[in-house]
Structure 1
Amino acid sequence: MSVKGKWSIVLFALAVVIGAVAFFQNQQASGTEKKNVKQDTNYKNVEIVTLVNDGKFMRYAVNYPLFHQKELDDKIQSYANSALEHFKKTFSEAKDIDEHKRYELNIDYEMVHYAKQSAAIRFTTYTYTGQQNGTTNHLTINFDFQKKTFLDTKDLFLPKTNYLKKLSYITYTELRKDKTLSKDQPLLQKGTAPDAQNFSQFALKDKYVEFYFPASQVAAEDLGPQTLAIKKTLLKDILKPEYMDKLKNKNEMKEPNPKRKAVKLPQKSKLDPNKKAIALTFDDGPNPATTSKILDALKANKGHATFFVLGSRVQYYPGMLADILKGGNEIGNHSYNHPLLTRLPLDEAVIQVKDTQQLIEKASGYTPTHFRPPYGGTNQDINHAIGMKVTLWDVDPEDWKIRNSQQITNRVLSHAADGRTVLMHDIYESSAQAAVKIIHELTKQGYQLVTVSELEQLKKERHEQTPVE
């Protein structure tokens, strides 16, 4: 054999060795995929596909169901394969891979619902590609077996029904019962507004329609995603009959009880947006001797008011808060001991409000959403740090100074007008006597006596009723 031929054999062998080493190293880095298909033991006609790969620098585990229904299976496989291919591409293009920070993809699912009529599958995808934290995404697929179509929210409801308005109303009123969610009212209102995108993630279930809200949609991001299941009976006048049918929608497995659910329609406000309204507010209490007189007058005239309480007085009279709330009135936060907050360091100003908030919650279970700064003294830094609605006033009879019930009454009645907020104090006998007269006279004049929150809602309803030019 010639020298040239020997060298060719050597080079070929070397190439094979290098290729084998490269192949082995690549296998270590990216691993080898293993596929498993098995029957789902809980659901007939459903198979579970599992793809697993455990490489040195990356790993993935992908699980998804197959229903032997072409349209549904194609969509599920497309979702899983797209996510997997994108993950592999990201890994192949990475330049800073580290075996201590292995790239990771995990796709899993929950069979939220499986019945004759439809199925709901909720996917959870976790991805880590070397960044500080991984990302988690959710996708819910609803499929109607009878119609062989995928379902959007609008597909559940009868045509020409204002279903979004009803979903918005139920969801907002139910979620705001949660103290942690109600702390950011503007975000909660925005996230539950009657917009199709707000209700795009859902699962059609046996007895409920369950809605999923991503982190930061209805509450601060650190509180995570939120869920609300609305009982179908609350939607019976707008939900399509096929999704109300108990037999067709009965899940093959017993569905767990939802963690958060709406089972009763919220009571609608009895306030009339076309009737004039005024908000009476009382500061510096509670005081059993005087606050009780005002509460009795409100009850007798079917009126409501807002009581901005001091934490220092709540400590002495915690039971008064229940009396205030029992009549449909509202409690606001007025600081702990009434300092001018703008003269305090910011952290001390915040403590004044937060300590009072905790005292109110402990005494009554109620979480105030409105704050009135003592003397009206506040600034943007304080407002931002407190994170509550700041409520001032339109009418101030200076009842704390004149201490004459008739003069106080005259001042308030002469300045009363629709949509205004009146400032008084419920710790003085003269103010309580004046309040009883004012409540009676304003009611006689046709005013609705409302809380600060109710006045805000009325103004909102009036604005929404205003025709668009």
Structure 2
Amino acid sequence: MTNSLGIINEVKTDRKAIAFTFDDGPNPLYTKQLLEIFQQVSGKATFFMIGEQMEKHPEVVAEVFEQNHEIGNHTFTHPGLTKLSEEECYLELEKTEKLITQLTGKQPVLFRPPYIDYNEETKKIVERFQYKTIGALNGDALDWEQPGVQFIVEKSKGHIRNGSILIFHDGFGDRSQSIEAVRLLVAELVEEGYQLVTVSELLEMSNA
């Protein structure tokens, strides 16, 4: 299920599976808390990491990768890409791709634009990397604004169905509300029989 710019917000599938995604890490405190939450339920998630943060916390990157979660490209400095020149935009993606490959030995295949700031020009640059561009359904949960744990949970629950992609944040500022909301959602969804998978795994389950 893509929009006109090719951003994938959900996957059409008969499987009872959902992808949790996390932006702006890695963060030694919050990313590690998420790893514990998913480890307890044998679930997997996708982390869209910023290059600058990866340079600061390579040990967290290694931990995420070793636990078989997916790492996607979220640029190097988290700019609004539509405000950059074509060359600047390309470098933002290229530097982070090289860093992910260097730290994990695996090339990323997914990309999420910061602020979901995206247009036709950006799309052309992203296509040069052959990335799939990933959005999410629960942008209205506004977890980055810390609107309250219950608010994040309730808004996100409104988008739960087979193939949903959900967005939360594990970097930049106090993310304790996001972590607590994810903890509650994960417990509930596992109880309901949902499988928690990476975005690439979800894409493989597509009926399309």
Does the TM-score normalized on the shorter chain lie above 0.5? Answer: yes
Q: Does 1:451 align with 2:198?
A: yes
Instruction: Name the residue aligned to 1:392.
Output: 135
Q: Distance in 1 between matches of 2:193 and 2:79?
A: 37
Instruction: Name the residue aligned to 1:331.
Output: 71
- The residue type paired with residue 399 of structure 1 is D
* Alpha-carbon contact 1:403-1:431 (below 8 Å) kept: no
Q: Please give the per-residue CA displacement for 1:387-408, whole angstroms capped at 9, x wherever unaligned.
A: 2211111122110113422221
Q: Distance in 1 between matches of 2:167 and 2:82?
A: 21
RMSD: 1.5
Q: Distance in 2 between matches of 1:304 and 1:430?
A: 20
Q: Distance in 1 between matches of 2:14 and 2:82?
A: 39
Instruction: Name the residue aligned to 1:411.
Output: 155
Q: Distance in 2 between matches of 1:439 and 1:366?
A: 27
- The residue type paired with residue 19 of structure 2 is A
Q: Distance in 1 between matches of 2:99 and 2:176?
A: 25
Instruction: Name the residue aligned to 1:363.
Output: 103
* Alpha-carbon contact 1:304-1:329 (below 8 Å) kept: yes
Higher-Rg member (1/2): 1
Q: Distance in 2 between matches of 1:326 and 1:432?
A: 21
Q: Does 1:430 align with 2:170?
A: no
- The residue type paired with residue 356 of structure 1 is T
Give the 3-state SS of the residue equivalent to 2:47 in structure 1: strand
Q: Please give the per-residue CA displacement for 1:434-466, whole angstroms capped at 9, x wherever unaligned.
A: 11111111111111111110111001xx34xxx
- The residue type paired with residue 133 of structure 2 is V
1:293 to 33, 37, 40: 33
* Alpha-carbon contact 1:318-1:364 (below 8 Å) kept: no
Q: Distance in 1 between matches of 2:155 and 2:69?
A: 24
Structure 1 residue 357 displacement after superposition: 1.1
Q: Distance in 1 between matches of 2:69 and 2:29?
A: 18
Q: Please give the per-residue CA displacement for 1:44-89, whole angstroms capped at 9, x wherever unaligned.
A: xxxxxxxxxxxxxxxxxxxxxxxxxxxxxxxxxxxxxxxxxxxxxx
| Consecutive unaligned residues in structure 2, runs of 5 or more | 1-12
- Structure 2 length-normalised TM: 0.86
Instruction: Name the residue aligned to 1:130.
Output: none
Q: Distance in 2 between matches of 1:351 and 1:437?
A: 38
Q: Please give the per-residue CA displacement for 1:221-266, whole angstroms capped at 9, x wherever unaligned.
A: xxxxxxxxxxxxxxxxxxxxxxxxxxxxxxxxxxxxxxxxxxxxxx
- Structure 1 length-normalised TM: 0.39
Structure 1 residue 275 displacement after superposition: 3.3
Q: Distance in 1 between matches of 2:159 and 2:93?
A: 30
Instruction: Name the residue aligned to 2:6.
Output: none
Runs of 4 or more consecutive aligned structure 1 residues displaced over 3 Å after TM superposition: none
Q: What does 1:65-80 align with in structure 2 at a 5 Å threshold?
A: none
- The residue type paired with residue 434 of structure 1 is A
* Alpha-carbon contact 1:283-1:425 (below 8 Å) kept: yes
Instruction: Name the residue aligned to 2:120.
Output: 380
Q: Distance in 1 between matches of 2:63 and 2:157?
A: 27
- The residue type paired with residue 437 of structure 1 is L
| Count of aligned pairs between the two proteins | 189
Q: What does 1:134-145 align with in structure 2 at a 5 Å threshold?
A: none
Structure 1 residue 334 displacement after superposition: 0.4
Q: Distance in 2 between matches of 1:400 and 1:328?
A: 25
* Alpha-carbon contact 1:350-1:385 (below 8 Å) kept: yes
- The residue type paired with residue 450 of structure 1 is V
The answer to which structure, 1 or 2, has the higher relative contact order (CA under 8 A, 6+ apart) is 2
* Alpha-carbon contact 1:308-1:332 (below 8 Å) kept: yes
| Consecutive unaligned residues in structure 1, runs of 5 or more | 1-272, 464-469
Structure with bigger strand share is 1
* Alpha-carbon contact 1:287-1:426 (below 8 Å) kept: yes
Give the 3-state SS of the residue equivalent to 2:18 in structure 1: strand
Q: What does 1:298-317 align with in structure 2 at a 5 Å threshold?
A: 298-317=38-57
